[in-house]
Amino acid sequence: MDNFKKDLILTINENINKIKDSILQTINASIDGKFLGPQPKEIIPKPSYAEMLCPKQSRIVIRPKDSSQDNTRTKNDILNHIRPADENIQLSRVKHISDGGILLTADSSSVRRVKDIANEKLAEGYEIRELKSALPVVTIIGLTEDYSNEALEHHIRSQNKNIFNNLSELSVLKVWSTKNNADIFQANLQIDTVTFNSLKQHNRNVVGLDNCNIYDSTSITRCFKCNNFGHSLKYC
Dihedral sign from CA coordinates of 165, 167, 169, 175: positive
pLDDT at residue 226 in the model: 73
According to DSSP, the residues that pair with 103 across neighbouring strands are 61, 95
As a whole number of angstroms, the distance between CA 126 and CA 99 comes to: 11
As a whole number of angstroms, the distance between CA 44 and CA 226 comes to: 39
Dihedral sign from CA coordinates of 226, 232, 234, 236: negative
Compare 165 and 63 and report the one with higher pLDDT. 63
Question: Which is nearest to 112 in space by CA: 49, 174, 60?
Answer: 60
Tell me the C-alpha to C-alpha distance, in Å, between residue 49 and each of 66, 168, 188, 193, 196: 43, 9, 23, 11, 14
- Fold annotation for 55-131: Alpha-Beta Plaits (3.30.70)
Enumerate the domain spans of the chain. Answer: 55-131, 137-216
Assign domain 137-216 to its CATH architecture: 2-Layer Sandwich (3.30)
As a whole number of angstroms, the distance between CA 9 and CA 90 comes to: 77
Mean pLDDT on 135-139 = 85
Question: Which pTM does this prediction carry?
Answer: 0.44
Q: What values do phi and psi take at 75, rounded to 5?
A: -60, -45
Fold match between domain 55-131 and domain 137-216: yes
Compare 172 and 222 and report the one with higher pLDDT. 172
pLDDT at residue 29 in the model: 61
As a whole number of angstroms, the distance between CA 40 and CA 21 comes to: 27
Q: Is the pLDDT of residue 152 over 90?
A: yes
Residues in Cβ contact with 43 at an 8 Å cutoff, skipping those fewer than 6 apart: none
Q: Which amino acid is at 131?
A: L
Segment 52-106, tens digit of pLDDT: 444 457 889 999 999 899 999 999 999 999 999 888 898 888 999 888 999 998 8
How confident is residue 207, by pLDDT bands cut at 50, 70 and 90? Answer: very high
